[in-house]
């Protein structure tokens, strides 16, 4: 099936795949060829892509997303997001430092606006750190 991952920066992935796993507002779903049509909200988390039926987990392509929209049609899957970070591009130590900094910003927020911005940063960097950890565990 065709899979498209599109962010504000452009097309991140546009290829034929066997399976896509994404977290939605209703919970995580796995999408295979022939899946029923669906439109759903994608929540912050990981998208994992299995290119061929026989691929094991170490061959999964991982992306960290901050949420978006998932559209499943008879022709394939399209995920529209503000940003998508490829798992192989995320440095775990940098993601951990960014998360620590975001947590400090949140702890020192002086008003609701600062708190909301810091909370969004915490969520973003927590997802990135989780994807970096998943990538590391799958490569073992």
Q: What is the pLDDT of residue 68?
A: 94
Classify domain 2-87 by CATH number.
Answer: 2.60.15.10
Domain regions of the chain by residue span: 2-87, 88-139
Average pLDDT of 108-115?
Answer: 90
What's the pLDDT at 40? 95
**Residue 139: pLDDT over 70:** no
SS3 25: coil
d(CA 69, CA 32): 17
Average of pLDDT values for 80-88? 92
CATH architecture entry for 88-139: Up-down Bundle (1.20)
Is residue 138 over pLDDT 70?
Answer: no
CB neighbour class for 113 (10 Å; exposed up to 12, middle 13-18, buried from 19): exposed
Mean pLDDT of the chain: 91
**Contact by Cβ (8 Å): 39, 25:** no
Residue 16: is its pLDDT beyond 70?
yes
Radius of gyration of the chain from its Cα atoms, rounded to whole angstroms: 16
């Amino acid at each position: 099936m065709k899979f498209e991952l599109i962010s504000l920066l452009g097309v991140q992935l546009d290829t034929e795949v066997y399976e896509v796993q994404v977290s939605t507002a209703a919970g995580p779903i796995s999408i295979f060829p022939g899946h029923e049509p669906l439109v759903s909200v994608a929540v912050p988390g990981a998208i994992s892509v299995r290119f061929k039926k026989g691929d094991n987990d170490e061959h999964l392509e991982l992306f960290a997303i901050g949420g978006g929209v998932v559209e499943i049609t008879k022709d394939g899957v399209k995920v529209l997001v503000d940003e998508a970070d490829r798992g192989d591009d995320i440095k775990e130590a940098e993601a951990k430092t960014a998360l620590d900094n975001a947590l400090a910003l949140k702890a020192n927020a002086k008003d609701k606006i600062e708190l909301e911005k810091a909370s969004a940063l915490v969520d973003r960097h927590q997802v990135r750190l989780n994807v970096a950890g998943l990538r590391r565990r799958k490569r073992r």
